[in-house]
Structure 1
Amino acid sequence: MAEKTVPGLRTHAIDPVADFYAALGFDIAFRQTAPYGFLTVRRGGIELNFYASQGFDPNTSTHGCLVLTEDVDALYTQFLAGLSKAFGSVPNAGVPRVGALSDLSHGVRQFLLVDPGGNTLQIAQPISVNQHQRAQSRETFARAIQQGKLFADAQQDLPAAAQVLDRALTIADDDTAEIPTPNQLVELLVLRADVALRQGDKSQAENLLRRASTVDLTGLQQLQNSGALHRPSEVPKV
Structure 2
Amino acid sequence: MGEKAIPIFPCRSIQSTWDFYRALGFEQTTWQTRPNPYLAVRRGDVELQFFGWKKHDPAASMNMCYITTTEVDALYEAFRGGLREALGRVPTRGLPRLSALRDMSYGVRQFLLSDPDGLQLRIGQAISDDTRHAPIPEEKVARAFHMAALLGESKGDHLAASRILDRLLRSGEALSPSERLKALVLRADAAAHLEEWPLVRALVAEARAIGLGRLVRAGRRPRPPGRPRSRRPRRRSGFIDRRRALTGPARVRTLVSRPLDVDRPACDRRAAQPVWDREDVHPRVAPGGVRCWGRGWGLLWATLSTGAVGLWREFAHRV
TM range (shorter): 0.7 to 0.9
Q: 1:13, CA displacement in angstroms?
A: 1.0
Residue in 2 that maps onto 1:232: none
Distance, in Å, in 2 between the alignment partners of 1:200 and 1:110 is 24
State the Cα distance separating 1:144 from its structure 2 match: 2.7
Matches of 1:96 and 1:74 in 2, distance apart? 20
Match of 1:111 in 2: 111
The yes-or-no answer on 1:205 pairing with 2:215 is no
Equivalent residues of 1:104, 1:149 under 8 A apart: no
Distance 2:104 2:64 in 1: 19
Residue 83 of structure 2 aligns to a residue whose secondary structure is helix
Distance in 2 (alpha carbons) for counterparts of 1:212 and 1:126:
37
**In structure 2, distance between residues paired with 1:190 and 1:110:** 22
The residue aligned with 1:192 is: 187
User: Is 1:177 matched up with 2:147?
Assistant: no
Secondary structure (helix, strand or coil) at the match of 1:29 reads: strand
Distance 1:200 1:116 in 2: 17
Q: Which segment is superposed worse, 154-163 or 30-39?
A: 154-163
Which sits farther off after the overlay, 93-102 or 37-46?
A: 93-102
Deviation of the 1:215 alpha carbon: 4.5
**Which piece of structure 1 moves more, 53-62 or 136-145?**
136-145
Per-residue displacement from partner, 1:133-156 (whole Å, max 9, x unpaired)? 221123444433321122223333
Q: Is the 8 A contact 1:12 1:56 kept in 2?
A: yes
- Flag the structure with larger Rg: 2
Give the RMSD, CA atoms, in angstroms.
2.8
Question: What TM-score do the two structures reach when normalised by structure 2?
Answer: 0.58
Do the aligned partners of residues 119 and 168 (structure 1) sit closer, same or farther apart at CA in structure 2, a change above 3 Å counting?
A: same
Identity over aligned pairs, percent: 40
Shift in CA distance, 114/212, structure 1 to aligned 2, threshold 3 Å: farther
Does the CA-based 8 Å contact 1:14-1:38 persist in structure 2?
Answer: yes
Q: Tell me which of the two structures has the higher relative contact order, counting C-alpha pairs closer than 8 angstroms and 6 or more residues apart.
A: 1
Quote how far apart the aligned CAs of 1:21 are. Answer: 1.0
Does the 8 A contact of 1:100 with 1:111 survive in 2?
yes
Partner in structure 2 of residue 56 of structure 1:
56
Distance 1:26 1:191 in 2: 34
CA shift digits 1:166-205 (9 cap, x unpaired): 344567xx8x924265xx6665444333311211123433
Please list, as runs of the form range in 1=range in 2, the aligned pairs for 1:89-238 lying within 5 A after superposition. 89-169=89-169, 177-179=174-176, 181=178, 188-205=183-200, 208=203, 211=207, 215=211
The number of equivalent residue pairs is: 212
- Aligned partners of 1:92 and 1:197 also within 8 Å: no
Query: CA separation in 1, counterparts of 2:24 and 2:208?
Result: 31
Q: Partner letter of residue 199 of structure 2?
A: Q
Amino acid at match of 2:10: R
CA contact (8 A) 2:188 2:199 kept: yes
CA distance in 1, matches of 2:3, 2:29: 19
Structure 2 unmatched runs, 5+: 213-228, 230-319
Distance across 2 between alignment mates of 1:75 and 1:101: 11
Distance of 1:49 and 1:55 partners within structure 2: 18
Residue 257 of structure 2 is matched in structure 1 by none
Give the SS at the match of 2:146.
Answer: helix
| Alpha-carbon distance in structure 1 between the residues aligned to 2:130 and 2:158 | 27
Provide the residue aligned with 2:223 in structure 1: none
Take 1:97 and 1:13, find their aligned partners in 2: how far apart are those partners?
A: 18
1:6 counterpart = 2:6: yes
Segments of structure 1 that go 5 or more residues without pairing to the other structure are 217-237
Pair 72,166 (structure 1): closer, same or farther in 2 beyond 3 Å: farther
Over 3 Å counting, the alpha-carbon distance change for 1:180 and 1:139 in structure 2 is farther
CA deviations 1:24-51 (Å, max 9, x no partner) are 1212222221221111111122111111
For 2:76, the aligned partner's letter is Y
